[in-house]
Structure 1
Amino acid sequence: MNSLAQWCFRRRRVVLGAWILALIGLAVAALGLGTAFKTAVALPDSESSTAYALLAEAGAGAETESGTIVWRTEGDAIDSPAVQEQVARMLADVTAQPGVEAVVSPYSDQGAAQVNADERTAFATVALADDADPEAIRSIAETLEAGSFAVGLGGQAFTELPSPSGGTEAVGILAALVILLLVFRSGWAASLPILTGVMGVGTSLLLVMIGSHALDVDATSLTMGALIGLGVGIDYALFIVNRHRKALMAGSTVPDAVALAVNTSGRAVIFAGITVIVALLGMFVVGLGVLTGMAQAAAVTVLFTVAAAITLLPALLGMIGMRILSRKQRAQLASTGLASPGKPTASGRWALLLDRAPRRMVGASLVVLVALAAPALGMRVGNADASSDPAGSPGRAYYDLMTPAFGAGVDATLVLVAEVPDAAAAQAFTELAEALPDVEGVASAQAAPVQPGQRIAIASVVPTTSAQTRETQDLVHTLRDGVVPDAARGTDLQVHVGGETATNIDIAAALMSKLPLYLGLVAVLGFLLLVVAFRSLLVPLVGALSNLATLAVGLGAITTIFQHGWGSELLGVGSGAPVMYIVPVIVVGVVFGLSMDYQVFLVSRMHEEWSQTRDNDRAVRVGVTETGQVIAVAASIMLFVFASFGFSGERIVSAIGIGLALAVLVDAFVVRLTLVPALMKLIGARNWSYPRWAERITPHLSLEGPSEPVAGVPLVVPEPVAVGATSTGPFASTTLWDGEQPRQTSEEP
C-alpha cells in the first residue's frame, strides 16, 4: 500500500488523467452503444411457474401482456349511442397501434360483463406484444378526457415501471458537503470525498450501462448502484482524508502524510469494500435474477469507489497539498510546526462516560434496539398494488375508477391451469369451476367447457379483495391446499394456481424462505473476516451479533413506515402496503457491509492500541475517542445520502433508502459507539484472547499497517479520575510517550 500511495503521489497528473479518460471513454461508449436493460423473468420453482409453463405449452399468453382501459361518464349513460361512438373511435385507434394483438370492447358480446350501468363505468381489455408502445396507447385513451369522461389505464401492460432516481441524490450530496465543511472548515477537505465518490460512481455506472448488453441487468440497478456507491464512496474517501489531515497536523510532509493515510486507513477501506462486495454477491444464494443483476451492479460500483479512494484520492491530495487544512490550521503549523494537543473532544468525553457506566449503556442500547427492531417480526412481504399508490397518481386514479364498479379484486385475477388427461379429470375440472363462486373470498369465476381431447383447461377466479391484501393471499392457499385437492381426489386432474397475483405470492415465499440462510451466511462471513483481521474470537462474535441487531432495526423501520404506513405518504409513495420482496434481501446485504465498515474502523483502532499497551480499558477509550467523530460524520453523510433516495417517489427505492438511512444511523450511534465499546469494556482483556491452534492456521492480515513511530503530538485521551485525585478540569488526561518523542496515536486506522 505504501508503494501504491507513493506512485500515485509522484504521478498524480497521470492518475488524474487516467480517471478522466476512463470516464470520457466509458461515456462515449455508453452513448454509442445505448443500454439494453431488461428485467430477468426467470421465476423460482413454484406452482405459479408451472402454470405459466402450461399456458405457454397451450399457446396462451406466452408473449403478451394484458392491460385495461377504464372510463366513467359524467352525465350520459355508459351505453348511450353517443358514448359508444366516441369509445369505438378511441378503441379503433388503439387497435391500429403496432403491437396491439387484441382489444375486447365492453360493447361486444365477449365483453358484456365489462359494463356497470349503475356506476356509469366500463372497461376494455388490451393484449400487447413485446414491441407495443404503452405510452402511445395511453395518449390515445386519454383523448376521451376532452369530453365528459374520466379515464384510467392499469393492469400489467400499463403499470409504470420504476424510473431512475431523478436527481434526488443531489440533495444528499449537498447535505454531505455542508457536513464536511462544518467539520473540516476547509473547502478542499469537504470537496475531495465527494469528488472521489462521484468519480467512482460515475465510471462504474457507465460500465454497468455497457454491461447491460451482456448481462440481465434491470434499469433500477443504476439507482441501486448510485445509492450504495455514493454512500460508501464518500465515506471511504472521508476516512483517508481524515487520516491524511491528522498526519499533516502532526508535522508530516505531504508525501509522508499521503503514504501514511493510504497505508493505514486505505487498508481498512479495502477490507471494508471487500466485505460489502461479498455481502452483495452473496445475494446469488437467493436465486432471483432481478436481485442478482442489482447485486452485480452495486458490487461493481463499490469496487470502483474503493479503487478511486486508494488511487485517485492520493493523487488529488498531492495536488492540493497543505490546502487540505483550514487557514487557521495552516497558520498554526507555520508558527509552531505542530498542532496543539487541545482539550478532550466530544467523542473523548463520550468514551469516558462509557468507561464509567458500561452496564447501563449496554442496557439502554438493548432497549433501543429491541424497540426499533420489534416491528420486523410482523413484516409481510408481497407486492403493492394500485390501491396503495399516492392519491392523484395514474395508478390510483385507475384503481378509484375500477373498484366501485367492478370490485377491489378485478385486477388480482387468479388463473387456474389444469392438466386434464382423461374424461374423468375433465369432469372433475368442470365441477371445480362450478363450485369456485361459492368459495369464501371469490367474487366470480368462469371457465370455458372442456372439449373432447383437450389436455389443458383454464379457469379464472376474481377475488373480492385486492392483490396486496392478506385475504387474497389466504384465498390462494385455500385453493391450493383445500379446494383444488378435494376436487381432484380420485382422478388424475392436476390444477395449478397461477397468475400475476399468485406469482408475487410465490416469489415472496421463496425469498423469505432463503432469507434465514442469507442472514446466517452474512453473519458467519462477518465473524470469519473479523477473526482474520483481529485474531480474536469474542470481538468477532460481538461484531456478528451486533450486525444482526442492526439488520433487524433496518427491517423494523421499513415495516413501520412502508407496511404500516407511518409516514409513507409524506415520502410520496402512498399508503401502507406489503414490503416488496426484494427490499429485505437488499437491505440485509448492504447494511451488513456498512456495519462491518464501522466495526472495522472502530475495532482496528482499539486493536492497534491494545497491541501497543496491552490495556483493554485504554484501548476501548482510545478507539472511541479517535474514531468517534469520523464515524459520526460518516454516518451522518450516509443518512442524508440514503434518505435523499427516500423521496424518489418510487416505493422500492424509497424503502431501501429510508431503511438503510435509519439502520446506518442506529448502527453508528447506538451499536458501534455505545453497545460494542461498552460490551468490550465489560469483557476486558479476554476480548483479545485467541487459541494457539487457531493462531497457527489463521492468515496474517494487518489493517493498521506498520506501527512505525511518526513525529507528532501526544494524544489526549480522557482517563477516569480516581477518588481523591486532582485534575485541572472535568476530565483528567494522559499522554502516551515513546521514548523522548511523542508517539503518534491521534489517528483512526
Structure 2
Amino acid sequence: MAGVDDPFSAPGGVSADGRTLVAHLRLDVTNPNDMPVVDSERMLAIADSAGSADGVDGAGFDVALGGQTVQLAEQGEIGSETIGLIAAAVILLLTFGSVVAAGLPIIVAIAGLAVSSTLTGLLLRLVDAPDWSTSLATMMGIGIGIDYVLLMVTRFREWRAAGLDPEAATVATLDTAGRSVLVAGSTVVVSMLGLFAMGLSFMRGAALVTILAVFVVMAASVTLFPALLGYLGRHVDRLRLPLGRRRVDVAVGGHIQPGRGWVGWSRLVQRHRVISALAGTAVLLALAAPFLGVRFGFPDAGNNREETSTRQAYDMQAAGFGAGANGPLVLAAELPTAGDTTTLERLGAALAATPGVAAVTPPQLNPAGDTAVITVIPGSGPQDAATEDLVHHLRDTTIPDATRDTGTTVRVGGVTAASIDSTENIARRIPLLIAGVVLLSMVLLVASFRSIAIAVKAAAMNLLSVAAAYGVVAYVLQGGWAGKLIGIDTETPLPAFVPVLMFAVLFGLSMDYEVFLVSRMRETWIRTRDSGRAITEGLAGTGRVVTAAAAIMIAVFAAFVPSPDVVLKVIGVGMAAAILVDATVVRMLLVPSVMHLLGRATWWMPAWLSRRLPELHVEGRPEQHLPVAEPERELVNA
C-alpha cells in the first residue's frame, strides 16, 4: 500500500447520516492487475477482523473492501482443467469402450497442454493478456486436442477393421483424418486472428495465447499421436469395458458401417429435407430472438455474490451515498487562464442542475491553477442505462453549454465513462470482425472442399449457430429463471467483448465440426458421384464422432459456469449452449437437409476457379490404402 486517504477530509467521504465512511487505498502499482493476490488476501483478512474487538464479533461496525484487485483475489480459479479432463475421459470411454483407445486423446491433450503452458509463459513476457485468457486457452487446448485425436482414433480403428496392419493404418489415418485435423485447426486460427481487427491490446493478447494452444495441440495430434500408435496400435482395443460388442461390416472406403440409429436418422432427414431445413432454421431463430433486446455494458460489483467483500462494499456505499457513488464520473477541466474560478462555478452549477446527477464535488485545482478535477455522482448505478445516457448528455449538452466561448476544455472520464466508451468502440468494430473472419473462412473452405455452395452454406449456418448462442446469453442475463440457475438474479448488461470473443471461438469450433462432417461426405462423393448417398453416409458415419466431440467441448466450457465472476459464467453458458446447438440442430439437421435440397449443386465449382486453386485433398486418398482382398469380419467395439 502506498497510502490511505482520510475519509473525514476527502470530499464525499462521509455519508449524510454519518454512519458510512469511504476511504480510498492507494496502491504502489500502476496497474491494479499487478497487485499480488497474496497482498489482496492479506487486506481482506485485515478487513474481516476489523469488525471484531479483541477477536470477538460485535464491535459495532462492518468493513468491506471493493475494487478490481480485491475482485481478482476473490475470483479464485477460473474454470477447471480437472473437471474437463474427467468429463472427457468418461465420454471417451463410453464412445470407444476401451481404456487404451480412450486414453490416447487424453495423453495427447495433456502433453499438448504441458508444452503450450510453457510457451504461454514465455509469450506473456512479451505481450499483455487478460488473466482469463490463459484459462480460456487451456480449456480450448484440452477440448480441441481431445476432439482431434478422437477423430483420428476413430479413423485408425476403421482402417484396422478394414484389414490394414498398424503401420499402414497409421499412414492411412494421417492421410485422411490427419488432413481434416489440419484444416479444422486452421479455421480456428483464422477465427482467432479476427480479434486483431478489434484494435484492443487485451484482445490481441488473448488471441495470441489461444492460437498458440491450438497450434500446439494440432501439432501433437499429427506427430505425437502417430508415434504413440507405434507402441499401442496393436492394442488400441485392449482393456475393454463390459459394454457389449457387435459384429460389423466394413464399408467401401475403409469405414465401419455406422449404427442403425444414425443410418435411420440420415435417411429420415433425406426424406423430409424441406421440413428439416425449416424446423432447424426456426429453432435457431427462436433461440436468437432474445439477443434483439440485449443491452451492452459492463456489469458492476452489484452482480457479485452476496458473501463477497466487493458486493458488500458496493451495497454499503450504495446505501450510504446512493447507487451512483459506486461509479463516479471524473471531469478534468483545462482552464485557459490560471485560477479562473468563474467558469468552474458556472460549470458546477450546470452539472448540479442536470437531471440524473445526485451530487457534484467542489473543483480541486492543481498547484498551477490551470487544471481542475470535478467529481460527479450519478443518481443511477454504474451498469444502469440511465448512467450511460447521463454521460452522453453531459458531453453533448451540459458541458458545451456551460463552457461555450470560455476556451475551457472539459473531458468526462473515470472507470464508468471509460467502460461506456470501450463498449461503444467494440460495438462499432464487430461488423469488421464478422466480415473478416467469415471471408477468410470461406476462402479456406472453398480451397479445401472445392465447392462454392459448401463454403457459403457453412458460413451461413455458423452465423445462425452463433446468433442462437447470443440469444441464450441474452436470455440468461435477463435475470429470470434461466439466470437464477447459474446465480444471475438481476438484469445485467452484456460486456461488448464477450460476443466478440464468443464469435471468434465459436465460429472456429463450428468450422471444426463442418470439416469433420463434410470431409467424410466428400470421400463418398469423390468415389460415387452420388450426392444423396454422400450426404447420407457422411452424416451417419460422423454422427457419433461429432456428438462425442461436442459433448467433450460442452463439458469443458461448462466448467466456467461455477465461477463467481458473472462474465465467466456468461462465457461458459454461451459457449456450451452454442456447441450443443451446433452439434445437434445445425450439423445433424440443418446442414444435411440444405445439402440434400441443393443436390449435385452442393459440389459445384467454376472451372476457372478450380484450375487456379491448389489441390488440398482434405478428404485424402482412402482408396490408395485399402487392401486388395476384401477383409473378413472381425469383432470391434461399437
**TM-score for both structures, normalised by structure 1:** 0.77
For residue 616 of structure 2, what is the aligned residue in structure 1?
701
1:469 aligned onto 2:384: yes
CA 1:413–1:166 in 2, change beyond 3 Å: closer, same or farther?
closer
Kindly state the Cα deviation for residue 488 of structure 1 after the two structures are TM-superposed.
2.5
Residue 51 of structure 2 is aligned with which of 142, 145, 151?
A: 145
Kindly state the Cα deviation for residue 524 of structure 1 after the two structures are TM-superposed.
1.0
CA 1:162–1:221 in 2, change beyond 3 Å: closer, same or farther?
farther
Q: Which has the higher contact order (CA 8 A, sep 6+)?
A: 2
Q: Which amino acid aligns with 1:179?
A: I
For residue 217 of structure 1, what is the aligned residue in structure 2?
129
1:343 and 1:705 map into 2 onto residues whose CA distance is: 20
Residues 340-361 of structure 1: per-residue CA shift (max 9 Å, x gap)? 9777432211100011100000
CA 1:155–1:564 in 2, change beyond 3 Å: closer, same or farther?
same
> Which residues of 2 match residues 154-169 of structure 1 at below 5 A?
154-156=66-68, 158-160=70-72, 165=77, 168-169=80-81
Residue 620 of structure 1 is aligned with which of 520, 535, 554?
A: 535
CA 1:125–1:635 in 2, change beyond 3 Å: closer, same or farther?
same
1:528 aligned onto 2:443: yes
1:336 and 1:635 map into 2 onto residues whose CA distance is: 25
For residue 383 of structure 1, what is the aligned residue in structure 2?
298
- SS for the counterpart of 1:580 is coil
For residue 278 of structure 1, what is the aligned residue in structure 2?
190
Contact 2:249–2:256, Cα closer than 8 Å, also in 1: no
2:612 and 2:44 map into 1 onto residues whose CA distance is: 65
> Which residues of 2 match residues 265-344 of structure 1 at below 5 A?
265-325=177-237, 344=259
1:351 aligned onto 2:277: no
1:259 aligned onto 2:168: no
Q: Which amino acid aligns with 1:396?
A: R
For residue 201 of structure 1, what is the aligned residue in structure 2?
113
For residue 7 of structure 1, what is the aligned residue in structure 2?
none
Kindly state the Cα deviation for residue 566 of structure 1 after the two structures are TM-superposed.
4.4
Q: Which amino acid aligns with 1:297?
A: V
For residue 105 of structure 1, what is the aligned residue in structure 2?
7
For residue 93 of structure 1, what is the aligned residue in structure 2?
none
Residue 649 of structure 1 is aligned with which of 560, 564, 570?
A: 564
Residue 510 of structure 2 is aligned with which of 564, 572, 595?
A: 595
Contact 1:551–1:591, Cα closer than 8 Å, also in 2: yes
2:520 and 2:433 map into 1 onto residues whose CA distance is: 29
- SS for the counterpart of 1:409 is helix
Kindly state the Cα deviation for residue 373 of structure 1 after the two structures are TM-superposed.
1.0
Residue 597 of structure 2 is aligned with which of 662, 669, 682?
A: 682
2:542 and 2:332 map into 1 onto residues whose CA distance is: 60
What count of residue pairs does the alignment treat as equivalent? 616
CA 1:742–1:157 in 2, change beyond 3 Å: closer, same or farther?
closer
For residue 27 of structure 1, what is the aligned residue in structure 2?
none
CA 1:403–1:211 in 2, change beyond 3 Å: closer, same or farther?
same
For residue 399 of structure 2, what is the aligned residue in structure 1?
484
For residue 310 of structure 2, what is the aligned residue in structure 1?
395
1:178 and 1:555 map into 2 onto residues whose CA distance is: 29
Contact 1:372–1:553, Cα closer than 8 Å, also in 2: yes
CA 1:635–1:112 in 2, change beyond 3 Å: closer, same or farther?
closer
- SS for the counterpart of 2:462 is helix
Structure 1 gap ranges (5+):
1-98, 713-738, 745-749
2:248 and 2:338 map into 1 onto residues whose CA distance is: 99
Kindly state the Cα deviation for residue 105 of structure 1 after the two structures are TM-superposed.
3.0
Residue 442 of structure 1 is aligned with which of 357, 369, 382?
A: 357
2:607 and 2:145 map into 1 onto residues whose CA distance is: 38
Kindly state the Cα deviation for residue 383 of structure 1 after the two structures are TM-superposed.
1.5
2:427 and 2:463 map into 1 onto residues whose CA distance is: 16
1:124 aligned onto 2:30: no
Q: Which amino acid aligns with 1:301?
A: A
CA 1:158–1:353 in 2, change beyond 3 Å: closer, same or farther?
same
1:103 and 1:538 map into 2 onto residues whose CA distance is: 65
1:499 aligned onto 2:440: no
Contact 1:189–1:241, Cα closer than 8 Å, also in 2: yes
Residues 197-220 of structure 1: per-residue CA shift (max 9 Å, x gap)? 121122101211132222223332
For residue 56 of structure 2, what is the aligned residue in structure 1?
none
- SS for the counterpart of 1:443 is strand
Contact 1:164–1:223, Cα closer than 8 Å, also in 2: no
Contact 2:465–2:578, Cα closer than 8 Å, also in 1: yes
Kindly state the Cα deviation for residue 161 of structure 1 after the two structures are TM-superposed.
5.4
Residues 220-270 of structure 1: per-residue CA shift (max 9 Å, x gap)? 222111121111111011000110011112221111111111111111101
CA 1:568–1:195 in 2, change beyond 3 Å: closer, same or farther?
farther
- SS for the counterpart of 1:457 is strand
- SS for the counterpart of 2:605 is coil
1:360 and 1:433 map into 2 onto residues whose CA distance is: 65
Kindly state the Cα deviation for residue 117 of structure 1 after the two structures are TM-superposed.
6.5
For residue 81 of structure 1, what is the aligned residue in structure 2?
none
Contact 1:390–1:573, Cα closer than 8 Å, also in 2: no
1:449 and 1:228 map into 2 onto residues whose CA distance is: 49
Kindly state the Cα deviation for residue 143 of structure 1 after the two structures are TM-superposed.
2.9
- SS for the counterpart of 2:22 is strand
CA 1:421–1:338 in 2, change beyond 3 Å: closer, same or farther?
closer
Q: Which amino acid aligns with 1:670?
A: V
- SS for the counterpart of 2:323 is coil
1:228 aligned onto 2:140: yes
Contact 1:710–1:743, Cα closer than 8 Å, also in 2: no
> Which residues of 2 match residues 515-664 of structure 1 at below 5 A?
515-564=430-479, 566-572=481-487, 575-664=490-579
Residue range with higher mean Cα deviation, 271-280 or 377-386: 377-386
The percentage of aligned residue pairs carrying the same residue is 37
CA 1:313–1:162 in 2, change beyond 3 Å: closer, same or farther?
farther
2:150 and 2:414 map into 1 onto residues whose CA distance is: 49
Q: Which amino acid aligns with 1:645?
A: F
CA 1:633–1:141 in 2, change beyond 3 Å: closer, same or farther?
closer
Residue 186 of structure 1 is aligned with which of 98, 105, 118?
A: 98
Residue 250 of structure 1 is aligned with which of 147, 162, 166?
A: 162
Q: Which amino acid aligns with 2:609?
A: A
> Which residues of 2 match residues 37-48 of structure 1 at below 5 A?
none
